[in-house]
Structure 1
């Protein structure tokens, strides 16, 4: 029987193909093993494990070069994981038994070499968890969400003791699946995320905790329906993630997403007290932080989305110089029109025009505002966006009423 000598394994913690690689036993390597189990892909590991670190950072070619050159069963298994082919699978399958044989089937399914995967496995601990996670993925492909969640919970239970970080990842996946189901319970998903975060607490520096914080915040934010309490929870969670060490330099994408979500949560809060006006200023600052990462050239869609959020916030920000904010908003909308063009997305283009026209109207620049509203209304009408078309028409009516109010006193004076 080909059993696995070194346990626990950091299986499932890093992205494929590293998730399925198995480390050989090495003397005096307990500290390196614990670092890998905490998700530290930059850990100082023995030379015999360098292939794993290379695979964890996505360098499969280097990982293959670093594999031992022997023909031992474990080496042949790892070689298949790194270079999965039907021929290699057939050759290795004929030789492997025990745990390695079971893991070979899991790796082959995930690599698309075989079409089916079992529901039960003669494995335990973190190895069973990896197999059950793959079986859960198969359930999801068949739209069997309940079965997938059951397997993910079983997987997390199997590896809580030997591999807490893997258990945290699996509970987070379970919450993700739950939120995809009809009539999903946000409270149940939040509980799963919180349980996962507790398991990940012993992994300093791991991005897993920050990502879980962000997902938890999104649960509160998306289910808030304008309720201040839930939005405050979302804000608290996003701030906890940022205070946990997420920076634009080290984790730019996550940092930017957190800042954008934080700004939106602040803007969504109902104003129930005078001090809550400060939330708009905080939101503006958060959007500006996000835009240090999302640039027009590198992230055009996210740049446009966050820029719209910033411009909208500027329109309504309490300020001693509102005209400056409105002018800045108009300029931002103009920049966004270069990305959200009429040819690429006519409805999104019309939404920018509508918001820009609103800012122009507040500035008293009525003629350009009416021109933009005319184009926006036409596009909304063409693409059957009735509510937005009505909003554009209402703003046109308001501007015309203001123009009429201005003309009447002037006519009376003559």
Structure 2
């Protein structure tokens, strides 16, 4: 379908449409009108936010700002586009308009978006079958099928479907094509790991988004690249420095109130990288302080109730950092670490996760030993060692035995 063609079903809704470019739900909305909205549609399809919106598109402007309830209140028309946009923005649990009638009203080319939306919202188990759609609409259908394949673990099929979607979107909607390229690069990383080829693909995807206002997508790619570089680096300072730069770039693009989970993940990864770097000089101690603060911030997002696994992992990272962090308040840090280990231990099921339970116990025993509380430290460490022996982890047994031996030496050297 050509530039600014109008769907010939009585629906005044020209192409290209910026569907799939921006985060949902705004990313599913249709922009009404023909030539009058051409520049705005092209701007959105390129992944850029318009400098100004026409008054008649106030509802869309509100939706793109995240003010969904206010946007919904502005959509009062009975034409198919307003009806569809209300369908997209309806609150969870609200009765939707009859999807069959809405699809018929939108016509063959745009109507399939109704079922793409329903699939994305979990109202359909499978995406709609392709029906001869073109350009960015075809890309939306192929990307829905790619998401379905990914969810089923069919990664090879998903990669092929994403390539079809990228090809369909490349000319009419460069913003959508860039987003899909990012998804494809991340999928490849999940399959291949952090190989040089994967890093090159992620870097190319980031470059494709560089000129856009798609800050969340760019931040996600910085996070993926940072994670890849960190995994490849091990404890190599040069590689870790590159990872840190990507995490910092991600944190400059999003805030805790705009993308809380992404922000928290970047804080945790940045902290892990900082804590892995060797401390060669006194100024390096600042990194530990930044890491501790970042982990504390992440825990305002990761709670035991909402993110139990990430909460436990972040708690353990913070406790570990507190044990070894240079500080004038070392005893306070150690006591806080002991308490944080205890929170994780209380949340762990010894029978369901014996290794996780034992590791938390071993770390807690080490912190108690640093505090000079040798009796409770020994009790906790003996329990951890018994579990490690039971599950067959000889390296962990040796590590615990080393701490117990050090406690024994200190007790022997202690004056009576």
Q: Which moved more, 1:59-68 or 1:361-370?
A: 59-68
The alpha-carbon deviation at position 36 of structure 1 amounts to 4.7
The alpha-carbon deviation at position 133 of structure 1 amounts to 0.9
Contact 2:62 2:71 in 1 (8 A): no
Aligned residue runs from structure 1 range 227-266, under 5 A: 227-244=236-253, 246-266=254-274
The alpha-carbon deviation at position 265 of structure 1 amounts to 0.6
* Residues 336 and 116 (structure 1), Cα distance of their counterparts in 2 relative to 1, 3 Å cut: closer
What SS does the aligned partner of 1:223 have? helix
Partner of 1:305: 313
Partner of 1:349: 357
Contact 1:175 1:189 in 2 (8 A): yes
The alpha-carbon deviation at position 220 of structure 1 amounts to 1.5
Aligned residue runs from structure 1 range 125-204, under 5 A: 126-141=136-151, 143-181=153-191, 183-204=192-213
2:334 to 321, 326, 340: 326
* Residues 357 and 62 (structure 1), Cα distance of their counterparts in 2 relative to 1, 3 Å cut: same
1:217 and 2:226 are equivalent in the alignment: yes
* Residues 156 and 136 (structure 1), Cα distance of their counterparts in 2 relative to 1, 3 Å cut: same
Q: Which moved more, 1:208-217 or 1:336-345?
A: 336-345
Contact 2:142 2:161 in 1 (8 A): yes
Contact 1:117 1:138 in 2 (8 A): no
Structure 1 stretches of 5 or more lacking a match? none
* Residues 380 and 310 (structure 1), Cα distance of their counterparts in 2 relative to 1, 3 Å cut: same
1:374 and 2:382 are equivalent in the alignment: yes
Contact 1:167 1:196 in 2 (8 A): no
Contact 2:22 2:214 in 1 (8 A): no
User: Considering only aligned residues, what root-mean-square deviation do their CA atoms show, in Å?
Assistant: 4.2
Contact 2:43 2:49 in 1 (8 A): yes
Aligned residue runs from structure 1 range 91-130, under 5 A: 91=101, 98-100=108-110, 103=113, 106=116, 113=124, 115=126, 117-118=128-129, 121-124=132-135, 126-130=136-140
The alpha-carbon deviation at position 389 of structure 1 amounts to 3.9
How many angstroms apart in 1 are the aligned matches of 2:52 and 2:217? 17
The alpha-carbon deviation at position 210 of structure 1 amounts to 1.6
Structure 2 stretches of 5 or more lacking a match? 1-7
- Structure-1-length-normalised TM-score: 0.77
Q: Which moved more, 1:225-234 or 1:386-395?
A: 386-395
Contact 1:40 1:206 in 2 (8 A): no
The alpha-carbon deviation at position 405 of structure 1 amounts to 4.4
The alpha-carbon deviation at position 281 of structure 1 amounts to 3.5
The alpha-carbon deviation at position 174 of structure 1 amounts to 0.7
The alpha-carbon deviation at position 140 of structure 1 amounts to 2.6
What SS does the aligned partner of 2:233 have? coil
Contact 1:85 1:113 in 2 (8 A): no
Contact 2:271 2:291 in 1 (8 A): yes
Q: How many residues align?
A: 403
The alpha-carbon deviation at position 85 of structure 1 amounts to 11
* Residues 371 and 105 (structure 1), Cα distance of their counterparts in 2 relative to 1, 3 Å cut: closer
Contact 1:304 1:336 in 2 (8 A): yes
Partner of 1:393: 401
* Residues 120 and 228 (structure 1), Cα distance of their counterparts in 2 relative to 1, 3 Å cut: farther
Partner of 1:66: 75
* Residues 242 and 361 (structure 1), Cα distance of their counterparts in 2 relative to 1, 3 Å cut: same
* Residues 34 and 222 (structure 1), Cα distance of their counterparts in 2 relative to 1, 3 Å cut: same
CA deviation vs aligned residue, 1:121-153 (integer Å, no higher than 9, x gap): 4402x2232122123224335543233223323
Q: Which moved more, 1:229-238 or 1:141-150?
A: 141-150
* Residues 317 and 77 (structure 1), Cα distance of their counterparts in 2 relative to 1, 3 Å cut: closer
1:365 to 363, 368, 373: 373
- Structure-2-length-normalised TM-score: 0.77
Partner of 1:284: 292
How many angstroms apart in 2 are the aligned matches of 1:275 and 1:81? 52
CA deviation vs aligned residue, 1:205-253 (integer Å, no higher than 9, x gap): 7322222211221121233233332211110111122234x33344443
